[in-house]
C-alpha cells in the first residue's frame, strides 16, 4: 500500500517511529564515533610519548655512550671490539622496551630495516609500505593508523629511521665496521646507505580490538536504552495526539464524505465546542459550507441562464469530440442534424481514414486537431448552399485537443448579395474603362476600314492585296482579344480555385488600364519577387487588383505620377502592394473606406462598393487587406496565403 493512501494517524505513527529510529541510530553512532576517536587520540598520544622517550634514549647512546665506549676501547687497544649492549642504539632500545613490556604488556616496539645488520630485524610487508610512505612524504615525522594484523585491529605509530654520519660506521663499508661486529653478524658486501637516507622505521604497536569492542557495546546499549525510552514517550504523545487531533478530524472527515456522497446536506452547521486550532478548523468548515451552498445555488441559476442563451442562439452551435460524435448541441444544430445538412456532424468518423482531398467538416476538424489552432472557413456544401464554419479547439493539461466548439452559419443569401455587389462594381469598373476600350477598338477599326476601301476602289497586284488582307486580319484579331478580355472580366463566376501566377494577373490589369495610365502620363514601377503560383480565384482577385489600380489612377493629379506595384513573401504569405503618389486619404475617413456605399467621388462616378467588395473577396481567400496613407500618397497591401 502506498504511503499517500494511509490515514493521517498511520502516517504520523510511521513518521515518528522512523524519526525515533533514525535519531537513536545517529546518536549511538555519534557516541561510538566520539569514543573511538577519543581512544585513538589517547593511544596515539601514549605511543608518541613512548617513541619520543625511546628516541631520546637512542640519541643518548648515539651521542654520549657510544662515543665514550669507542674512546675507551681505543685507549685500551681494543678498537676492533664492539659492545652491542652499549654501542647499538637498536639493541639498547629493544632491551629497554622489553623491560617496559614486563611492566605493561600491551605495547610492542619494533625497529626494522630493509637491509639490517641483524637478519632478525628484517622489514616485513607492512614495514616496507611504511618506508615507502615516508619516502613519498619526507616532510612527515610520524605515521599513525589502525591495521588488521591477523585477526586483531592494531594501532601503529611509526617514524622513519634516518641515516646519520655516525650510523655509517656500522652500516656503511665493511672496512669501517668493527671486526667484532662483523664476526657476530658476517656480511660480504658494503651497505649503500648515504647520509639522510631512510634506513628503516621504528614503530610502537598497540592492540585496540578489545577497547573498540567495549565502545561498540556502549553504543549498542545506548541505542537500545534510547529507543525504549523514546518509544514510551511516543506512546504518551500518540495518545494525546489521537484525543486532541485525530478524533476531531476523523469526525469532520466523516461529515465531509457524507456531503460528497449526498447523504449529508451542504448547508448544515457543526457546533464549535473547543476554541483551539481544531475549533478554528470547524468554524472555517461552517463558513466554507455556507459559501459553497450559496455558490451551488448561484451556479444552478447561471447554468440555467447559459443553457437558455445557448439554446437561444439561432445559428447551429455544438461541442464535438475528435471522433465526430456530438456531445452538446443547441436547438438550431439539432434541427440541421435532423435535416441531414452536410455542414454539421451527423455520424462518427475516423480521422485517419479521411481522404485528404475531401473538403468537408471532418477535414476541418482534422486540420484543427493537427495544427492545434482555430480555423474559420467559407465552404460550399454539396447542397449548393454556402456556409461560414468556425472550429475552435479545447485542450487538456497535456496540450492535446480533446474537443472542439463547432459554429456554422448559412451565408447563402449573404453570398448572393455580395455577388450582386461585385457584379455591380465590376460593371462600374467597365464603365471607367470604356473610353480606353473604345480607343483600343477604334484604332484597329480605322486600319481595317482603310484597307477595305483600298481593296474595293483600287486596282492592285496580288501581293499588295494579300498585305491589305493581312492587316485586316491582324486588326480583327486584336479587336477579338480586347472583347474576349472584357467578357472574361465581366462574366459572373462562382469561386473557382486554381493555381495562378499573380504577376500575370497584374499584367492583365495593367493592359485593361493601359489607356487611362497613358492618358494621365502615369509611370508604372514594378518590383516583383519570385512568387510561386497561388491557389486563388483568378477572376475575383483580378477584380480586386483592378479596383485598387483604378482608385490609384483617379487619385493622382499632381506632377510626379508614379504607380508602384511590389510583390514579396513574408511569413508564408504573399504580399502585393499598390502605392500611388496622390493626395492621400484624410485621417477622419480612412476607417470608413471599406464600408459599403461609402465614396468621396462625385455622383455618377462611383458606387462606393469597390473597396468593400475587394475586402470581402480577399477575406474569402483567407487573406487580409491593409491601407496606409499620408499626404504623399496611399498604399494598399494585400496578404494572400501561399496555401489555402
Asked if the model's pLDDT at residue 517 lies above 50, the reply is: yes
Confidence band of 492 (pLDDT split at 50, 70, 90): very low
DSSP 178-245: -HHHHHHS--SS-----TT-EEEEEEEEEE-HHHHHHHHHHHHHHHHHHHHHHHHHHHHHHHHHIIII
Q: What is the CA radius of gyration of the chain?
A: 56
Q: Whose CA is closest to 548, among 641, 487, 613?
A: 613
- The Cα 369–Cα 406 span in angstroms is 13
Asked if the model's pLDDT at residue 482 lies above 70, the reply is: no
**264 vs 550, more confident:** 550
Buried b (16+ CB within 10 A) or exposed e, 387-410: bbbbbebeeeeeeebebbebbbbb
- The Cα 403–Cα 397 span in angstroms is 13
Q: Whose CA is closest to 57, among 12, 104, 111?
A: 111
Task: Please indicate, yes or no, whether the overall pTM of this predicted structure exceeds 0.85.
Answer: no
List the single range of 53-57, 396-400, 604-608, 609-613 with lowest mean pLDDT: 604-608
Which residues are 160's β-sheet partners?
201
pLDDT for residue 427: 57
Phi, then psi, of 453 in degrees rounded to 5 = -65, -40
Count of other CB atoms within 10 angstroms of residue 97: 21
Taking each helix axis as running N to C, give the angle between helix 8-60 and helix 209-241, from 0 to 180 degrees, rounded to the nearest 10.
160
How many helices (H) and strands (E) the chain has is answered by: 18, 16
Confidence band of 494 (pLDDT split at 50, 70, 90): low
pLDDT for residue 318: 85
Asked if the model's pLDDT at residue 261 lies above 80, the reply is: no
Span 384-405, average pLDDT: 85
324: left (phi over 0), alpha (psi -120 to 50) or beta: left
Please tell me the total number of residues recorded for the chain in this structure. 644
- Give percent of the chain above pLDDT 70: 77
Question: Burial of 290 by CB count in 10 Å (0-12 exposed, 13-18 middle, 19+ buried)?
Answer: middle
Confidence band of 65 (pLDDT split at 50, 70, 90): confident
DSSP 385: -
**495 vs 80, more confident:** 80
List the single range of 21-30, 266-275, 534-543, 573-582 with lowest mean pLDDT: 266-275
| 452: Cβ contacts below 8 Å, ≥ 6 apart | 472
In 543-623 the beta strands, taken as DSSP E runs, fall at 562-570, 573-579
Confidence band of 563 (pLDDT split at 50, 70, 90): very high
Fold of 415-641: Heat Shock Protein 90 (3.30.565)
Contact (Cβ atoms closer than 8 angstroms) between residue 614 and residue 540: no
pLDDT for residue 603: 41
Count of other CB atoms within 10 angstroms of residue 549: 25
Span 145-151, average pLDDT: 80
Fold of 317-410: Beta-Lactamase (3.30.450)
- Give percent of the chain above pLDDT 90: 5
DSSP H helical segments within 61-167, as ranges? 66-75, 84-87, 89-103, 125-136
Q: Given the C-alpha cell 511516543, which residue does it identify?
A: 234
Confidence band of 604 (pLDDT split at 50, 70, 90): very low
List the single range of 136-150, 193-207, 283-297 with lowest mean pLDDT: 283-297
Taking each helix axis as running N to C, give the angle between helix 462-490 and helix 412-457, from 0 to 180 degrees, rounded to the nearest 10.
170
Residues 403-416: tens digit of each pLDDT: 888 888 877 777 76
- The Cα 544–Cα 614 span in angstroms is 5
DSSP H helical segments within 513-605, as ranges? 514-519, 538-555
Asked if the model's pLDDT at residue 175 lies above 70, the reply is: yes
Residues 574-602: tens digit of each pLDDT: 999 999 998 888 887 777 777 665 565 55
pLDDT for residue 159: 87
384: left (phi over 0), alpha (psi -120 to 50) or beta: left
Residues 518-553: tens digit of each pLDDT: 888 889 999 999 899 998 888 888 878 888 888 888
Average pLDDT over the chain, rounded to whole?
77
| 616: Cβ contacts below 8 Å, ≥ 6 apart | 418, 422
Asked if the model's pLDDT at residue 244 lies above 50, the reply is: yes
Q: Whose CA is closest to 96, among 48, 141, 51?
A: 51
Q: Given the C-alpha cell 476538424, which residue does it identify?
A: 365
**285 vs 399, more confident:** 399
In this structure, are strands 152-162 and 198-207 parallel, antiparallel, or unpaired? antiparallel
Confidence band of 495 (pLDDT split at 50, 70, 90): low
In 458-570 the beta strands, taken as DSSP E runs, fall at 498-500, 523-527, 534-536, 562-570
Span 150-159, average pLDDT: 82
Any idea where the domains of the chain sit in the sequence?
45-213, 269-312, 317-410, 415-641
Asked if the model's pLDDT at residue 485 lies above 60, the reply is: no
Asked if the model's pLDDT at residue 567 lies above 80, the reply is: yes
Which residues are 205's β-sheet partners?
108, 156
List the single range of 13-22, 123-132, 190-199 with lowest mean pLDDT: 13-22
Span 610-636, average pLDDT: 84
Which residues are 403's β-sheet partners?
394
Span 420-447, average pLDDT: 58
First vs last C-alpha separation in the chain: 56
Which residues are 635's β-sheet partners?
579, 628
pLDDT for residue 560: 83
Question: Burial of 643 by CB count in 10 Å (0-12 exposed, 13-18 middle, 19+ buried)?
Answer: exposed
Q: Given the C-alpha cell 525504549, which residue does it identify?
A: 228
**3 vs 42, more confident:** 42
Amino acid at each position: 500500500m502506498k504511503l499517500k493512501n494511509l490515514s493521517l494517524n498511520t502516517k504520523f505513527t510511521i513518521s515518528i517511529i522512523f524519526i525515533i529510529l533514525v535519531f537513536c541510530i545517529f546518536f549511538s553512532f555519534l557516541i561510538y564515533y566520539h569514543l573511538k576517536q577519543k581512544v585513538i587520540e589517547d593511544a596515539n598520544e601514549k605511543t608518541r610519548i613512548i617513541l619520543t622517550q625511546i628516541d631520546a634514549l637512542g640519541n643518548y647512546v648515539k651521542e654520549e655512550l657510544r662515543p665514550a665506549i669507542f674512546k675507551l676501547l681505543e685507549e685500551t687497544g681494543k678498537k676492533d671490539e664492539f659492545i652491542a649492549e652499549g654501542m647499538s642504539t637498536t639493541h639498547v632500545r629493544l632491551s629497554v622496551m622489553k623491560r617496559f613490556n614486563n611492566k605493561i604488556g600491551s605495547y610492542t616496539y619494533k625497529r626494522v630495516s630493509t637491509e639490517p645488520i641483524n637478519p632478525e630485524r628484517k622489514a616485513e610487508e607492512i614495514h616496507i609500505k611504511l618506508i615507502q610512505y615516508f619516502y613519498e612524504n619526507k616532510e612527515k615525522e610520524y605515521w599513525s593508523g589502525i591495521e588488521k594484523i591477523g585477526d586483531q585491529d592494531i594501532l601503529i605509530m611509526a617514524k622513519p629511521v634516518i641515516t646519520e654520519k655516525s650510523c655509517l660506521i656500522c652500516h656503511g663499508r665493511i672496512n669501517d665496521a668493527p671486526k667484532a661486529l662483523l664476526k657476530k653478524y658476517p656480511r660480504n658486501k658494503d651497505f649503500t646507505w648515504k647520509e639522510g637516507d631512510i634506513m628503516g622505521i621504528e614503530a610502537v604497536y598497540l592492540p585496540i580490538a578489545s577497547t573498540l569492542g567495549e565502545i561498540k557495546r556502549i553504543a549498542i546499549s545506548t541505542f537500545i536504552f534510547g529507543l525504549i525510552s523514546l518509544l514510551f514517550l511516543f506512546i504518551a504523545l500518540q495518545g494525546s495526539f489521537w484525543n486532541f487531533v485525530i478524533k476531531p478530524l476523523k469526525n469532520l472527515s466523516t461529515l465531509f464524505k457524507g456531503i460528497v456522497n449526498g447523504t449529508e446536506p451542504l448547508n448544515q452547521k457543526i457546533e464549535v465546542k473547543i476554541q483551539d486550532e481544531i475549533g478554528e478548523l470547524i468554524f472555517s468548515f461552517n463558513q466554507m459550507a455556507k459559501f459553497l451552498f450559496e455558490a451551488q445555488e448561484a451556479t444552478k441559476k447561471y447554468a440555467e441562464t447559459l443553457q437558455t442563451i445557448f439554446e437561444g442562439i439561432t445559428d447551429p452551435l455544438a461541442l464535438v469530440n475528435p471522433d465526430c460524435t456530438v456531445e452538446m448541441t443547441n436547438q438550431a444544430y439539432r434541427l440541421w442534424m435532423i435535416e441531414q445538412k452536410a455542414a454539421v456532424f451527423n455520424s462518427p468518423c475516423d480521422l485517419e481514414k479521411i481522404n485528404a482531398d475531401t473538403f468537408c467538416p471532418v477535414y476541418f476538424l482534422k486540420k484543427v486537431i493537427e495544427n492545434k489552432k482555430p480555423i474559420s472557413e467559407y465552404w460550399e456544401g454539396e447542397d449548393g448552399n454556402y456556409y461560414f464554419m468556425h472550429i475552435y479547439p479545447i485542450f487538456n493539461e497535456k496540450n492535446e485537443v480533446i474537443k472542439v466548439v463547432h459554429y456554422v452559419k448559412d451565408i447563402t443569401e449573404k453570398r448572393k448579395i455580395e455577388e450582386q455587389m461585385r457584379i455591380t462594381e465590376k460593371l462600374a469598373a467597365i464603365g471607367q474603362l470604356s473610353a480606353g476600350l473604345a480607343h483600343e477598338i477604334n484604332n484597329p477599326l480605322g486600319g481595317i476600314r482603310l484597307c477595305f476601301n483600298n481593296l474595293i476602289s483600287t486596282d492592285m497586284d496580288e501581293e499588295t492585296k494579300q498585305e491589305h488582307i493581312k492587316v485586316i486580319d491582324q486588326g480583327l484579331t486584336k479587336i477579338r482579344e480586347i472583347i474576349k478580355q472584357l467578357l472574361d472580366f465581366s462574366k459572373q463566376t462562382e469561386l473557382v480555385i486554381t493555381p495562378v501566377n499573380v504577376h500575370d494577373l497584374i499584367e492583365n490589369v495593367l493592359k485593361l488600364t493601359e489607356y487611362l495610365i497613358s492618358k494621365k502620363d502615369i509611370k508604372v514601377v514594378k518590383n516583383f519577387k519570385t512568387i510561386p503560383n497561388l491557389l486563388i480565384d483568378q477572376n475575383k482577385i483580378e477584380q480586386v487588383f483592378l479596383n485598387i489600380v483604378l482608385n490609384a489612377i483617379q487619385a493622382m493629379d499632381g506632377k510626379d505620377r508614379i504607380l508602384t506595384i511590389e510583390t514579396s513573401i513574408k511569413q508564408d504569405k504573399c504580399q502585393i502592394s499598390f502605392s500611388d503618389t496622390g493626395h492621400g486619404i484624410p485621417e477622419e475617413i480612412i476607417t470608413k473606406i471599406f464600408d459599403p456605399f461609402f465614396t468621396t467621388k462625385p455622383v455618377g462616378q462611383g458606387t462606393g462598393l469597390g473597396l468593400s467588395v475587394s475586402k470581402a473577396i480577399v477575406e474569402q481567400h483567407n487573406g487580409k487587406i491593409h491601407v496606409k496613407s499620408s499626404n504623399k500618397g496611399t498604399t494598399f497591401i494585400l496578404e494572400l496565403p501561399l496555401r489555402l
